[in-house]
Structure 1
């Protein structure tokens, strides 16, 4: 039962039918979001590779990490359609005749070969909207690329380490679900479909804006320069300290024995050292308790 303090889940896409041909991560993750917003979701996949085990999927994500594939497809009706065949095309167009939205993740050249370019679809199904997930926008849409290359382009790859998550893909999935909402607003206002392109490189660039603005660069307030916004070692692990706002910084300084919580003080090496020395004497358990008692935003972590 919903708590009186919780807002009920909104289902703005209830009554909307979404068909997806998008594989791997961005498309299925977007479909998961659409389903959570009330949409009826159908996904058509290519046949699994020859020699696959019984029950295998034609989506590569099911080979990389089946648990992730299963979670993204809960409540989604998954079918098989080889779009290079007449039978597969008929299967797709039966679904499109009932759909409000089509999500794809093919390159534009592949869409043309399959007869799924926007001009053709819009003529056949005037109320249908096409959300095309591509790697890069405009003339670059046919270039090869992947999440890692789009992150690298936006300066989100450090050294030789892989990023901790697939920021471009997941950011692109959110932009895709947002595009679905935009298309449905237009359809309900004007009674016709729209074409929207979602570029994963632009999703990465959007997530990287704080870095591009210089907000997270070394020495800036949220780039390690502010003593209240850093990752410190503690007695039995690490602590992600986020006491950035003045009242949080004041609370941190009070427990650490720093008398001046001004921004000038918090940006100094001396204050950083006092806080580092203090945290090094405390266990994760003590710091977790301190966070609640003194209203200090922090999260403790095991040793790396």
Structure 2
């Protein structure tokens, strides 16, 4: 019963892992179907969509029938909204004792009612570089994967007769998890994978850009040898990469078993 992105993304992953999924939407539908119809369609392939007005008695009974047969209930509403519908954690545990519940929220308790979206979670985690917007919805997608792993853990715990059958999946926690390499200084500017290494960097080619991930010493040594250098440096690598197009370097690297890729520009999938 989760609209927009993290819930449907999580459930599409569960579908790909073999789950049978029923999506319950309000009569007005899911807003994502309007603002991104192609991806909405892909996320809901082989997923049964039911439109139910949970303020109506008949539709509430239909919802109860679904929950009675379900292993897992995924929501992305505030706890207060679920409670008003009679779907709060306490009511679910009492009426559906075999049901596992993953509640995707913006923040962990006691701030689970605080509003937010991907952009604000990334901002709080220090993962934005203004004024540029993120290239993708990092917190939402990481939160979706966290919802999947949490769901599987709950089901395993239930099947092993452990008591825990419900869990919050805060998207802000997912953003904080993504920020850990930066928080520990691994990716800060000038750090090991923050631009200090010649073998782990981005270089301008004659046309385009290349990403070089020769992080391990044997990769860096092989790249230096291929360039005819005793030791690889950023300046030397930049000079060489500037002599050919990015696509050339990707093709050049493949038979040499070197991790070098030309940067792609974003492209929209075919509708």
| Structure 1 residue 86, shift from structure 2 partner | 1.8
Whether 1:299 aligns to 2:265 is: no
Q: 2:179 aligns with which of 197, 208, 223?
A: 208
Which sections of structure 1, spanning at least 5 residues, go unmatched? 1-20, 49-57, 262-270
Is residue 287 from structure 1 mapped to residue 249 from structure 2 by the alignment?
A: yes
Aligned to 1:5: none
Is this contact kept in 2: 1:126–1:192, CA < 8 A? no
* 1:128-187 deviation digits (Å, cap 9, x = unpaired): 111100000001110110010001111111121111110111111101111111111012
Report the secondary structure of 2:101's partner residue: strand
Cα distance in structure 2, aligned partners of 1:66 and 1:90 = 30
Partner SS, residue 40 of structure 1: coil
Q: Confirm whether residue 47 of structure 1 aligns to residue 44 of structure 2.
A: no
Q: Which runs of 4+ in 1 moved over 3 A?
A: none
- Identify the residue that residue 269 of structure 2 maps to in structure 1: none
Name the SS for the 2:87 alignment partner: coil
CA contact (8 A) 1:100 1:129 kept: yes
SS of equivalent to 1:196: strand
Residue 125 of structure 2 is aligned to residue 145 of structure 1: no
Q: Which residue of 1 aligns with 2:231?
A: 260
Q: Is the 8 A contact 1:256 1:274 kept in 2?
A: no
Cα offset for 1:257?
A: 3.1
Question: Which of 274, 277, 292 matches 2:236?
Answer: 274
Which residue in 2 is equivalent to 1:185? 156
Q: Distance in 1 between matches of 2:240 and 2:110?
A: 55
In the alignment, structure 2 segments of 5+ residues that lack a partner are 267-271
1:88/1:151 Cα in 2 relative to 1: closer, same or farther (>3 Å)?
A: same
TM-score, reference length from structure 2: 0.94
Deviation for aligned residue 1:30: 0.6
CA RMSD of aligned residues (A): 1.6
Alpha-carbon distance, 1:302 to partner: 5.9
C-alpha contact 1:122 1:128 (8 A) present in aligned 2? yes
- 1:61 equivalent to 2:35? Answer no
Residues 235-257 of structure 1: per-residue CA shift (max 9 Å, x gap): 12111111111011011111233
> The residue matched to 1:140 in structure 2 has which SS?
coil
1:225 aligns with 2:187: no
Q: Does residue 78 in structure 1 map to residue 49 in structure 2?
A: yes
> SS of the counterpart of 2:135?
coil
Measured after TM superposition, the shift of residue 193 of structure 1 is 6.5
How far does the alpha carbon of each residue in 1:102-153 deviate from its partner, in whole angstroms, 9 at most, with x for none?
1111101111111111111111111111110000000111011001000111
Number of residue equivalences: 266
